[in-house]
Amino acid sequence: MGKFGQTEGVSMIVLGTEMVGVSSPVQDPANTGRWRNLIAAVRGVYTGSLTYGGNWGGAYNEK
């Protein structure tokens, strides 16, 4: 994904959208580390902006 974005000159890559199960540390505390690793890997080959389209539904209201 990152190599393609860099080669094609895209200005931004969306790393994911509304993936509560793999983005919420409430769902799985290891998710934070996984996302940091993914971001670092993409940053290694891509210099544009990165974003994530979050789901602002009930899953993010968990305590």
State the greatest distance between any 2 C-alpha atoms of the chain, in Å, as a whole number: 42
Asked if 24 contacts 55 with a C-beta cutoff of 8 angstroms, the reply is: no
pLDDT of amino acid 62: 57
Band of the pLDDT at 22, cuts 50, 70, 90?
confident
Asked whether residue 1 carries a pLDDT value surpassing 70, the answer given is yes
Q: How confident is the model over 11-39, as a mean pLDDT?
A: 90
Closest to 52 (Cα-Cα) out of 12, 25, 7:
12
Each residue's pLDDT tens digit, 26-59: 888 998 999 999 999 999 999 999 999 987 776 5
